[in-house]
Amino acid sequence: MKVTPTKRIFFINIWLIFTFVLINSYPVVSREQKKIKLKKYDGKNTIIFCFHDIDGEGKYSITSDEFTGILDLLRGKYEVYSLKDWYEKVQSGYTFQRPPVVLTFDDGYESIFSIVIPELKRYSFGATFFIYLERYADSSIAYTEIAALPDIFEIGSHSLTHADMEKLYKNNLNTFYKEIFLSRKKLEYLVGKPVISWAWPYGYYNKDLLLMAKRAGYEIQVNTDYKTTNDEFSESTFSRYTVQNPDPVDQVKEILAKNHLYR
C-alpha cells in the first residue's frame, strides 16, 4: 500500500505524541532531590530520641501503649540502633538502607526492665540506657540484669547522682571528677563491658565540660538540645529529642515528618 505524504505526516505526529507522553511519564528528579536521597543513607542528621519512664508519673513519663505506638511508627521504615552501634557504623562509612534512628533512655527506671527491654526485643530494636548509679545503690539485681543484656543494648553513664555538672565544675572539682570519671569505671566493673557513652544530666554542658568528659574516656556525649545530629559530626556532643507528654506519639510523628520529608 502506498503511503501518501499526508499519511506519513499523520504517523510521524502520532509517534511524536507517543514519545512525548512516554518521556514525561517519568518523574524529573532535581539536583536538590538527589542530594536529599543521598543524605538519608549516610547517617547525617540522624534523629536521636530520649525517653525516661514508661507507665510512671510526671511530664517525662509516657504510657506503655504510647511507647508501643512509637515503635510501630519506626518498624520497617527506619534502622533503629543503640548510640554505640550507630556511631561505630557512621565512623566506618557504613551505608544505611533506611534512615537511622537512635533510641536512648535516661535515669534507669525500673520500667526499662519490665517494659522497655521486652518490647525492644520484640521489635529487634537496639537502644542505649543511661544510668546514674545512685538509683541502683541498693539493688544488685539490676546490675545482674544489665550485665546479661544482649549486644544490641548499650549501657552509658549518667553520673553517680544525677548532679548539676556545671555547678560542680565551678565549685567542687573533686566531686566533679568522681561524678564523671568514677561513674564510668564503676559501671564498667559492675556490668563487665566498656562504657563509652555519656549523657549530660539535665542536658547542661559547655565547652570546658565537653573536654573534661572526653578526657574521662567518653567517645560519645549527648545532650537534650532538641535537634538532629550535626551534619559533619564535628560537634563533641550529639543532640536528642526528648519524648514527653502531652501526645508523645504525635510528637514523634512530627519529628520524623519534619526530618524525613522525602519518605
pLDDT the model gives residue 230: 63
Say what percent of the chain tops pLDDT 90. Answer: 68
Lowest-pLDDT range of 27-41, 155-169, 172-186: 27-41
User: How many whole angstroms from its chain centre is CA 162?
Assistant: 22
pLDDT at 129 over 50: yes
Task: Extract the C-alpha cell encoding 109.
Answer: 527506671
- Judged against a pLDDT cut of 70, whether residue 7 lies above it is answered with no
- Per-residue pLDDT tens digits for 86-98: 999 999 989 999 9
Q: Which residue has the higher pLDDT, 36 or 249?
A: 249
- Average of per-residue pLDDT across 186-215: 93
Residues in the chain: 263
What pLDDT score was predicted for residue 65? 98
pLDDT band at 9 (very low <50, low <70, confident <90, very high): low
Taking the model in full, what pTM does it have?
0.82
CATH class assigned to 30-259: alpha beta
> Domain spans of the chain?
30-259
Q: Is the pLDDT of residue 226 over 60?
A: yes
- List all residues 6 or more positions away from 70 whose beta carbon is below 8 Å from its beta carbon: 243, 248, 249, 252
What is the pLDDT, as a whole number, of residue 41? 56
Q: CA torsion 2→6→12→15, rounded to 10°? A: -90
Q: Is the pLDDT of residue 81 over 90?
A: yes
Helices 64-74 and 248-259 meet at what angle, rounded to 10?
Answer: 20
Asked if 119 and 71 touch (Cβ cutoff 8 Å), the reply is: yes
- Using the predicted structure, report yes or no on whether residue 189 has a pLDDT greater than 50: yes
Q: What is the largest CA-CA distance in the chain?
A: 102
In this prediction, residue 113 carries a pLDDT of 94
Quick one: pLDDT band at residue 261, thresholds 50, 70, 90?
A: low
- In angstroms, the CA 263 to CA 194 distance is 36
Supply the mean pLDDT for the chain. 85
User: CB count, 10 Å around CB of 3?
Assistant: 9
Q: Looking at residues 176-204, what average pLDDT do you find?
A: 94
Residue 229: how many other CB atoms lie within 10 Å? 23
- Res. 2: pLDDT tops 70: no
Distance of CA 68 to the CA centre of its chain: 17
Quote the DSSP letter at residue 229.
P
For range 186-204, the mean pLDDT? 93
